[in-house]
Structure 1
Amino acid sequence: MHQKENRVKKLLPEIIFENDAYVAVNKPAGLLSIPDREQTEPSLKDRLLAKYGSIYTVHRLDKDTSGIILFAKTEVAHKYFSRLFEERRIEKYYLGLVHGSPAEKKGTMDAPISEHPVQKGLMVVHRKGKPSVTDYEVLEDHKTFSLVQFQLHTGRTHQIRVHCKNMGHPLACDELYGDGKPILLSSIKKKFKLSRHDEEERPMLNRLALHSWRLKFTDADGKETDLQAELPKDIRALLQQLKKNL
């Protein structure tokens, strides 16, 4: 395989499923879902356009969120999936690592969200905001951090991130709604020693700890569909260390 073909292949994230109507992609963290206004950096949509020729945006994930995202391949499919999302007939599940240990291990975060009155690009819980509902369940409690599954019932900007902050357990490495600090192995492992080859410790996780892991819906042919993307390697490695050092 030529070098150029190799590079193009590297640019294409893992395709979880595709047919003539749509493609489901496992988006890596740090990649825009769709081009921003300035178009200064590549997006997942750009890469799919290069592969398929035409592609339609159905929904989006934050740049720093990894996981499943759907794109339609035809106008008919675009209309169908847009309606599913609008009518909340797609079940959306996320996995996230939050700071601390929520007292209630299962519940619903029902708090309206609106744009921040002063800071552009930030969202905030506000009584005059739009209704926003997130179910959550703690799957693993490691005291300093907990792995939580979220199910979105509405689709507000930064919804999970804002609700976690409001609950008092912000997502790990969240620069907007948490402390934004990377997670170091030395903060988890009691007898940590820096390798003599390393001048400074490299973070185990240095990006938003949120992953879109599951989408459930009925496709246009009436087929029940359940798409899943396992947690990325960086979050899996961190969870392993948290289990070891409880």
Structure 2
Amino acid sequence: MSDHRSMPVPDGLEGDRLDAALARMFGLSRSRAAELIAEGNVLVDGAAAAKSDRVRGGAWLDVTLPPPPSAPVPRPEPVPGLRVVYEDSDIVVVDKPVGVVAHPTVGWTGPSVIEGLLASGVQVTTSGAAERQGIVHRLDANTTGLMVVAKSEVAYSVLKRAFKERTVDKHYHTLVQGHPDPLRGTIDAPIDRHPSGDGRFAVVAGGRPSVTHYDTLEAFRAASLLDVKLETGRTHQIRVHMAAMRHPCVGDHLYGADPTLAARLGIRRQWLHAVRLGFDHPTQGRPVEFESPYPEDLEKAVAQLRED
């Protein structure tokens, strides 16, 4: 069932292209907004308009949004390399391999953590949307390392709150190009979808508050190994903040990394690993902490830089 919206253009979007204004107002990608306009689903002051038309603050928009595609329901599917680090009746902590998402999503046909756990007989809580039951935080498909999944409803609600209130200790290691200056610091810059609508995120005025602390562990000729502590957990946060500092994660072509350096080090994805995860156990109250070694591809890249 389609969703009809009728509202004025906010004054803050005065002068923006129609497709850009729609993308900001409804959380769409720029390309999806352009499709809606081309399909005749957008009227400005009662008349059809082109995607490149500039909007006027207060102009009346009538938009017909199609129903969102329903996300696939998780089914048991073995995931090679998915390692259970810890499990009890409330939580399961996994070490996620490369090429695996947290839960099934529209358009993703690869493996997911939830489906891998179901295949190995781990029952997760039914709390949350059907496709992401038990998921309290996520890692990008090509980011490896530690994730906690809730098995009980109480664990789900307590952990969701802990992540929201920033009481979870999340440490990552990342190999970035060049040498950050200063060697240790905090990046406090808001993040939102990139205006291009191509799936990237970016530092954007008015975006969601995002805070990343970093410290240089080791400096090489062309790159630096950083310890990163996340205060917030925005999509692509470390990748976006490092790129904004002009020190993208090695291998992160989406955010401007040098393909030559990645090829020389044998890296085919962003060098980013969730190395440590600590939190108060949701039912026992005691602090728990888990660590994960680097996967082989990341370890080899660092060993090569040390040799150089």
TM-score normalised according to structure 2 size: 0.68
Alignment of 1:157-196 (within 5 A): 157-179=235-257, 181=259, 183=261, 187=264
Contact kept? 1:108, 1:136, Cα under 8 Å:
yes
> What is the distance in 2 between the residues matched to 1:133 and 1:22?
27
- Whether 2:112 is the aligned partner of 1:23: answer no
Aligned residue in 2 for 1:4: none
Per the alignment, in what secondary structure is the counterpart of residue 52 of structure 1?
coil
Matching residue's letter, 1:237: K
> What is the distance in 1 between the residues matched to 2:183 and 2:90?
39
2:303 to 220, 237, 240: 240
* Structure 1 runs, 4 residues or longer, greater than 3 Å off: 182-185
Aligned residue in 2 for 1:218: 280
Matching residue's letter, 2:100: L
Per the alignment, in what secondary structure is the counterpart of residue 157 of structure 2?
helix
Aligned residue in 2 for 1:146: 224
Superposed displacement of residue 10, structure 1: 6.6
> What is the distance in 1 between the residues matched to 2:260 and 2:287?
39
Contact kept? 1:173, 1:182, Cα under 8 Å:
no
Per the alignment, in what secondary structure is the counterpart of residue 202 of structure 2?
strand
Cα deviation code 1:184-207 (max 9, x no counterpart): 67x4xxxxxxxxxxxxxxx62111
Per the alignment, in what secondary structure is the counterpart of residue 255 of structure 2?
coil
Cα deviation code 1:12-52 (max 9, x no counterpart): 51111111111111101111111111352221211112223
> What is the distance in 2 between the residues matched to 1:10 and 1:153?
30
Contact kept? 1:112, 1:126, Cα under 8 Å:
yes
Per the alignment, in what secondary structure is the counterpart of residue 205 of structure 1?
coil
> What is the distance in 2 between the residues matched to 1:183 and 1:102?
17
TM-score normalised according to structure 1 size: 0.84
Aligned residue in 1 for 2:123: 54
Query: Which structure has the higher relative contact order (CA within 8 Å, separation 6+)?
Result: 1
Cα deviation code 1:108-145 (max 9, x no counterpart): 01111111122242111112111110000010100201
Matching residue's letter, 2:288: T
Aligned residues with identical type, % of pairs: 38
Superposed displacement of residue 235, structure 1: 1.3
What number of residue pairs does the alignment pair up? 222
> What is the distance in 2 between the residues matched to 1:177 and 1:238?
19
Cα deviation code 1:189-245 (max 9, x no counterpart): xxxxxxxxxxxxxx6211110000111111121211111101112111211111111
- Whether 2:113 is the aligned partner of 1:35: answer no
> What is the distance in 1 between the residues matched to 2:244 and 2:166?
24
Q: Please, which runs of 5 or more residues in structure 2 have no aligned partner? A: 1-76, 125-133
Contact kept? 1:142, 1:242, Cα under 8 Å:
yes
Aligned residue in 2 for 1:231: 294
- TM-aligned CA distance change 1:242 to 1:53, over 3 Å: closer
- TM-aligned CA distance change 1:29 to 1:182, over 3 Å: farther
Q: Please, which runs of 5 or more residues in structure 1 have no aligned partner? A: 1-7, 188-202
Contact kept? 1:66, 1:212, Cα under 8 Å:
yes
- TM-aligned CA distance change 1:20 to 1:12, over 3 Å: farther
- TM-aligned CA distance change 1:9 to 1:115, over 3 Å: closer
Superposed displacement of residue 9, structure 1: 7.3
Matching residue's letter, 2:279: F
Aligned residue in 2 for 1:91: 169
> What is the distance in 2 between the residues matched to 1:64 and 1:83?
26
Contact kept? 1:182, 1:204, Cα under 8 Å:
no
Larger radius of gyration: 2
- TM-aligned CA distance change 1:58 to 1:180, over 3 Å: farther
Per the alignment, in what secondary structure is the counterpart of residue 31 of structure 1?
coil
